[in-house]
Amino acid sequence: MTASLPAHLASSASPFDSPRLLADVGGTNARFALELAPGQFEAVQVLACGDHATFADAMRAYLASPAAVAAGQVSHAAVAIANPVDGDQIRMTNHHWQFSIEAVRREVGLDTLLVVNDFYALARSLPHLPDADKVQVGGGMARAGAPLGLLGAGTGLGVSGLIPTGSSWIALNSEGGHVGFSPANELEVAVLQYAWREFEHVSAERFLSGAGVGLIYRALAHIGGQPMESLSAPEISRRALTGECALSEQVIDVFCGMLGCAAGNLAVTLGAQGGVYIGGGIVPRLGERFASSCFRSRFEQKGRFASYLAQVPTYVITAEYPAFLGVSAVLAEKLSA
C-alpha cells in the first residue's frame, strides 16, 4: 500500500540515503510505514498493540516483515503516539506500554528516534491534506492565514491546533481531551450525573471516545429504564447505522451533539477561522449519519457567537493514514537542523 503527498508537495521528492520508519501509535493499534522519499509511504502495516508486550517488540516485528527487510537498513524513525510527550519516559494513558525513548532507540539500533504526540503530528498534516481526503460538514468558508482546530475521537480524545507564523505553522502539544466535560442540555446533565457514579473527574474524553460510546449507552439505558446489554462501541454504532436499535441511535445522536459542542468550544478558544478538523477512528465510520446529525447545529450553538461559528467550516478527515504526513515533516525538520 502506498500513501502519497499531494503532487505539488512531492514533485521534488528524491530517494533518501536509507528508508525512514514512521509510526502512528494509538491505544488500540500501531500503524507503521517506510518513507522511501518525501511523501512516499510504502509497506504500511497495522499491528494490534495488544499482540506485543512492548513498543520495542512491535517495532522489531514490523522491521522483521518481508517488505521492511527488503527495503534495507533503517537509521531514522519518528513516532506519533497517543500520549503526552515530555522528556524521555513515555507511559501511555490508554494502553500499558511504557518505555524510554533512548532505550528503545538503542535496542532497535537506530541513529534517530523522535517521538511526538499523535495529534501534534496530525495537526502538522492539515495544510497538506488534499480535498479528496476531507469532507466538509455544514457551511462556512476557511479564512486564509487563520488558525486551524483539530480534535478526534478514537480510543481517546485527541485535541490540537495549528497556529500560523509567517510562512509556516506551529502545532500545539495539547491534552485538551482531558478538560472537564460541560453539559449543554438537561439530558447531558443526566448523563453526566450517571458518569459521576463511575468517575470522580469526568473529562470530555470519557464520552468522546470508544469507551465513551459505551458509557453514553449505559447512561441512557439507566435514564430510560431500559435493559442494558454489554455492547462494544462498534456494535452500538453498527446497530445505530442499520436502524435496528433505537437506543443505539440515541447514543450516536448524543455523541455527535457532544462532539459538536466540543468542536465549537475549540473554535472559539483558538479563533480557528481556518476551520476545525475532525480526526480519529469513530466519526469517519459514521459517514452520512454524522453529516446529517446534530453535530453542526451544536457546533454553532454558542448564543451571541452563533453567527461567528456559522462562518467556520468543519471537516471530517477521511485519509487512511494522515498522521504519516505530519510525522514525516517533523522528522525531516529534525534531520535538517
Q: Which of 130, 165, 131 is nearest to 148 (CA)?
A: 165
Q: What is the CATH number of the domain that holds 114?
A: 3.30.420.40
Residue 84's pLDDT band, with cuts at 50, 70 and 90, is confident
The pLDDT tens digits of the residues spanning 279-293 come to 999 999 999 999 999
174 and 112 belong to one structural domain: no
Does the structure show a pLDDT above 90 at 1?
Answer: no
Q: Which of 310, 81, 268 is nearest to 175 (CA)?
A: 81
Q: Quick one: pLDDT at residue 291? A: 96
65 and 46 belong to one structural domain: yes
174 and 310 belong to one structural domain: yes
In angstroms, rounded to a whole number, what is the distance separating the alpha carbons of residues 51 and 277? Answer: 31
Stretch among 77-86, 139-148, 299-308 having the lowest mean pLDDT: 77-86
Region 108-125: mean pLDDT is: 94
Residue 130's pLDDT band, with cuts at 50, 70 and 90, is confident
112 and 159 belong to one structural domain: no
Decide: helix, strand or coil at residue 334.
helix
In angstroms, rounded to a whole number, what is the distance separating the alpha carbons of residues 182 and 174? Answer: 18
84 and 198 belong to one structural domain: no
Containing domain of residue 228, as a range? 130-318
The pLDDT tens digits of the residues spanning 27-49 come to 889 999 999 988 889 999 999 99
196 and 234 belong to one structural domain: yes
**How far is residue 2 CA from its own chain's centroid?**
20
In angstroms, rounded to a whole number, what is the distance separating the alpha carbons of residues 301 and 281? Answer: 25
Q: Quick one: pLDDT at residue 183? A: 97
Q: What is the CATH number of the domain that holds 211?
A: 3.40.367.20
Q: Quick one: pLDDT at residue 11? A: 39
Whole-number CA gyration radius for the chain: 20
Give 178's contacts (C-beta < 8 A, 6+ positions apart).
Answer: 203, 204, 205
- Kindly report the pTM of this predicted structure: 0.87
259 and 245 belong to one structural domain: yes
Say how many C-beta atoms besides its own lie within 10 A of residue 77's C-beta: 26
Contact (Cβ atoms closer than 8 angstroms) between residue 148 and residue 161:
yes
Say how many C-beta atoms besides its own lie within 10 A of residue 42's C-beta: 17
226 and 97 belong to one structural domain: no
Per DSSP, 143 falls in state: P
- To the nearest whole percent, how much of the chain has pLDDT over 90? 82
On the 0-12 / 13-18 / 19+ scale of CB atoms within 10 A, 17 is: exposed
Does the structure show a pLDDT above 50 at 4?
Answer: no
161 and 174 belong to one structural domain: yes
Number of domains in the chain: 2
278 and 295 belong to one structural domain: yes
Per DSSP, 106 falls in state: H
- 3-class secondary structure per residue, the chain: CCEECCHHHHCCCCCCCCCEEEEEECCCEEEEEEEEECCEEEEEEEEEHHHCCCHHHHHHHHHCCHHHHHHCCCCEEEEEECCCCCCCEEECCCCCCEEEHHHHHHHHCCCEEEEEEHHHHHHHHHHHCCHHHEEEECCCCCCCCCCEEEEEECCCEEEEEEEEECCEEEECCCCHHHCECCCCCHHHHHHHHHHCCCCCCCEHHHCCCHHHHHHHHHHHHHHHCCCCCCCCHHHHHHHHHHCCCHHHHHHHHHHHHHHHHHHHHHHHHHCCCCCEEEECCHHHHHCHHHHCCCHHHHHHCCHHHHHHHHCCCEEEECCCCCHHHHHHHHHHHHHHC
35 and 104 belong to one structural domain: yes
204 and 263 belong to one structural domain: yes
